[in-house]
Amino acid sequence: MLDRITERLYERLGSRYWLVLAVGQAAVSILVALVTVVILASYYDASTHQVARLATFGSILTAIAIFVASLRTRSAFCAVRAWHDTPAPTATETVSAWETATTLTYRQFRRNSWWINPFVVLPTSAFGVVLFDLEWTDFFVLVLACVVPAVYATVLSYSAGEMLSRPMVSDIAKVLPDDFPFTRLGLPVRKRILLGPSTYTVATALLVASLLGDRSGSDDLVLAVVASVCVGLALSHELSVLLAEAITRPIERVRVAMARVADGDLAARVPVTTSDELGELAHDFNLMARGLEEREQMRAAFGTYVDKEVAALILSGQFPEEGVEVEVSIMFCDVIGFTSYAESAPATAVVATLNRLFSVMVPIVDKHGGHVDKFIGDGLLAVFGAPELFPDHADRAVAAAREIVAAAAALDTGLSVAAGVNTGRVVAGSIGGAGRLNFSVIGDAVNVAARVEAATRQTGDDVLITAATAAMLTTDVPLVSRGSVPLKGKAEPLEVLAPLGPVTAPTA
């Protein structure tokens, strides 16, 4: 309910919302000041008129001090509002505004607390001495008695300031970049836990001592303050330390584990040592880390069965579902005499030999910027120019074909490889249905590449390319025409050319 009210005030008041911050903090502090005056007056049998005058005096000083402190940090608030009024703030401006908004109260209190409390406590104590007709030594008693409420008011006012600043922070957090550089600038949680219970316990002890103990002058007041401070700190210190350890240590474990995950260690886990909200946080973190680990394993397996570039493109979700029409170079490789070899060799040896050949061929395709579209028995279809658009895709395809032939010949498998390359326009996209898709290329250029590879049996060459591929070459590759050969499924014969010159085969 309170958050909704502050959000509406923030939207309606705009740059004047800093007044809400000032009034909210002042109201909390004035309330504590009024209770403090009543407690002090009870020790000196003050009249209602005297109490009212001292309360008014202390409240005015408190309001002035907080208003001045708010004015000193108004420029920071205006910087946040300037971000809000900017039509399209940059990521850097957003991060800067967020840091300002989240540390606005903290910086205000660090900058002003050292003078606010003396500004209020010292004059109020002096006025109380005069008003109650006390000895000058009683001034120090009143100052001592005001210290505990002043610290308590500071803690409450700080909490009120942070609560009233939430609309600003929430407004910026909606568009804050996920990967912004985070730096700890606010009040640490450990200090909040140590200060909060201790201050509250001491203030409560002082109030109880004042209500139940004797109230007959400065001696009783000093005794009440000293007793409440000693008892309050003794009771709250261990509690604060235990709470700090119980809360901050599990949070720190989660933070360290998150840093490990950010560095790539997806096996990081947090021990679930409690059955409360912090234990639930650790449990949820472990589930998240396990999910990320399984996703990474799936991605790795996906990359094993699908070309790495294609896997990255599909996972990014940036490729159009309807596909795109592009000009590419298609390379089709086939193992010569593999059918007869498979008939005479054991099945395990056939698979092992084929995998050996592919283990040499696939890295060569990757090296030249292509991707393996599919394996067709003992054949391999590779595409150059999609999904990554290379203007020299023809050169890459021809170089890869020649290198694959040379690399396969260097293996002691007793088998050789032939390759055909063709260039043309195809449709590249995800092909399939019913939840099963495969990134592939469709078009007549693909069929021609397979037919050109088959033509190597007629010409006796290891590599043949079409005239369309030769026209796209940007490097000087010696070519010799093998004339026009009839291709299955083509009405007219097609000219094919064989690259010449030595090819350095990689070490097998």
Predicted confidence (pLDDT) per residue in 144-174, tens digit = 999 889 998 999 999 999 899 888 888 888 8
Q: 77 pLDDT exceeds 50?
A: yes
Burial degree of 331 (CB within 10 A; 0-12, 13-18, 19+)? buried
CATH number at residue 434: 3.30.70.1230
Type of residue at 436: R
Instruction: Check residue 436 and give its pLDDT.
Output: 56
Q: Under a CB-based contact definition with an 8 Å cutoff, are residues 371 and 387 in contact?
A: yes
User: In which domain, by residue range, is 205 found?
Assistant: 188-305
Question: Do the bridges between strand 436-442 and strand 463-466 make them parallel or antiparallel, or are there none, so unpaired?
Answer: unpaired
Q: Of 148, 179, 210, at which residue does a domain stop?
A: 179
Q: Under a CB-based contact definition with an 8 Å cutoff, are residues 423 and 472 in contact?
A: yes
Instruction: From 46, 64, 232, 56, select the one nearest 152 (Cα to Cα).
Output: 232
Q: What is the pLDDT of residues 12-60, one digit of tens each?
A: 888 888 889 999 999 999 999 999 999 888 888 888 999 999 999 999 9
pTM score, two decimals? 0.60
pLDDT mean over 243-250: 80
For residue 506, tell me if it sits in a domain: no
Percent of the chain scoring above 90 in pLDDT: 22
Residues 333, 480 within the same domain: yes
Tell me what the pLDDT averaged over the chain comes to. Answer: 84
Instruction: Check residue 45 and give its pLDDT.
Output: 83
What total number of domains does the chain contain?
A: 3
Q: What is the pLDDT of residues 319-344, one digit of tens each?
A: 555 567 788 999 999 988 888 888 88
Q: 267 pLDDT exceeds 80?
A: yes
For the chain, the 3-state helix, strand and coil shares in percent, each to the nearest 5, are: 65, 15, 20
Residues 297, 351 within the same domain: no
Of residues 209 and 106, more confidently modeled: 106
Q: Under a CB-based contact definition with an 8 Å cutoff, are residues 500 and 480 in contact?
A: yes
Q: 177 pLDDT exceeds 50?
A: yes
Q: 377 pLDDT exceeds 60?
A: yes
Q: 507 pLDDT exceeds 90?
A: no
Instruction: Check residue 125 and give its pLDDT.
Output: 92
Q: 307 pLDDT exceeds 70?
A: no
- Through-space distance between the first and last CA atoms of the chain, rounded to whole angstroms: 73
Instruction: Check residue 365 and give its pLDDT.
Output: 92
For residue 314, tell me if it sits in a domain: no
For residue 439, tell me if it sits in a domain: yes
Instruction: Check residue 31 and give its pLDDT.
Output: 93
